[in-house]
Structure 1
Amino acid sequence: MNYLGAYLGCLLISAVAQASLVSNSNDSLVLLTKTLDAIEFALNFFHQEHPNLNLDAVIGTRMVEGQFKVLLRKLKAHPSQNAQISAPMVSRIERLQRIAGLVSDEALPYIATFTPKYYNEIGPIIQEGFWEMAYPSRDFDPDVPVWRYEEGESLMEQRSDDCLAEFFGTGKKSKEHCKISDDCWDFMTSPGYNSYSLSHQIFYFEIGRQFGCYSQMLVKNVRNHQKPIKDLQEQFCKNMLNEAIVIAKNGFPQRKQDLFMEQAALCGILGYREFFTSDWLEPILSWQDEVFGCYRGELVFESEVKLRDGVRSRRKREERPLDHGCLCHRTTVALAALGQYVRYITEYLQLLSSPAL
């Protein structure tokens, strides 16, 4: 795979192993431009559709806004490493960060009006600044175990949402922030999940920590004699990567594209750069509608989503079809994933500019 975010110091140690990297800065700049074009196109589509966006759509636009703020701080903190990244390119990232924030702000009153219960329960995750997470880039420990991949979901989305509400004090049982039940902790940190169930676990860790519940999470973690939270996140993302590789090897089936992009978005935020390759970026770019800027695909109905035990699982965050056959959730996970690609390509270009190399 072409590791866009791999540190160039590794090239000096293992030139052969890294030979599949994008060959030069020009190729990387072309990919960066194409990725920013795709983000701008999708944001413009969401801007036009903002009265029709659901809460999940704004998670994606807030991710772009927050992650671009983090990226811009890094770019401005190390100007000597920005020789490969022009001032107009930095200005463009700033502009897209502002547009992502504008789209989010525009959609909020509609979401609060049309889905008030859902908004009140987990609305904090779509407020400005929530997704300004700054995890360092890293590679997976090769010794992290990967469990056997198994089709089917392990959890119902409503239960996942109920557990998120415990962080915010908006659940049925308690109005106290960060009051985590044993049931939720056990359910949301158990190994062996795949697909969206696994991505919900990563989501759970990220949201709990960002909202300020880390000390309570740590107490649960220690009392249950689990691996450290950082190690749990790494294991979950390593298994996500394994599933992403399976999806890629199978030719990116349309019904898996949404999940594939969600995996890159969530684990990319945590710094795991092995999700980011030019071989995977090009297909994501190709899935974008050339006329409207959205992402289309086969609509998965609630009745088709099953748990591993065969029970039907109602997905509250099922796709919302928009005009022209566009899909709300698929477009927002594409935005979130492409935002992470911008991070890793610019990181790669910064390292190309490092005077030590």
Structure 2
Amino acid sequence: MTEPSLTLPRRPGLTALDRIGHPSPVLDPDDASPHTFPDGGTWRTEIPSVEGPEALATVLKESARLDVPVHRISQGSGVWMLTDAEITEMVESCAERGIELCLFTGPRGTWDTGAATRTDSGGAGLRARGHDALAGCVEDALRATELGVTCLLVADEGVLWTLHRMRTAGALPATTTFKVSALIGPVNPASYGVFEQLGADSLNVPSDLSLDHFTEIRRVSRAPLDLYVEAPDDLGGYVRMYEAAELIRRGAPLYLKFGLSRSPGIYPYGAQLRETALATARERVRRGRLALDLLARHGADGGMSPLGSRDPGVLRRFPVPEGD
């Protein structure tokens, strides 16, 4: 692990603004998160939307070329959109490099027979509709973990609680981690704490939360936070690279996710989207390099967790009912 800096990061443009007498807001040390990952790091990295072995190979090649450290790879189409052989290949490739592989459970709201998600209100969003959808997510979780996947992405509170109960009962490996999707991500400290207690090991929050919102969350929970430094267009297209150092200071422990705005959607992925998937995979890694370069220029690149780290630490949970 790189040791955290003993001084505050240099703030963008501060010296030049001071020189012309332009006032800058004073940082409040009480805003800083008191939490870290168990290894002492304050941040890790994630490359999202890696939809299969070929896209994964592209990410691994590009991350080596650009020297972008990767702690986690995540996929958005779902376990059910991959063959056993494809999942096994991805598991082995990530294991060789100490990278956590996270696959999405499904089915979910936009990919079933419900029409409400296609209305202006968005209906119930990505949640699992009915018993059969819940059971499908369970089936995905069992299949993925049997093939060696150690992290599962969920987009439904009931699915999360069910999978956590299975983990507690030994039906899923105890080392399995659960990541909450940005599509149902909590937007206030109370809901963040509820997701943690339902079994979440990291929580993707919407990228439009203010810096004060991150401080509020950190006053009630130490569960790792996932954040798109650049968000896809369907999540707002926000770009927060210049805030990366302050986001870490406020939100640690935090996964910096390198998404991509102004690019077409690729879910659910198939061969018809191959060139787009590979091109966007390469560019996500490049965006990661840009964000890391900014951190380095501001003296804020210390504090990264060691590569291979995936432990979220001891988190708070609701009691699991006896007999489960």
Q: TM class by shorter-chain length? A: under 0.3
Q: Which structure has more helix as a fraction of its residues?
A: 1
Q: Which structure has more strand as a fraction of its residues?
A: 2
- Compute the TM-score of the two structures, normalised by the length of structure 2: 0.28
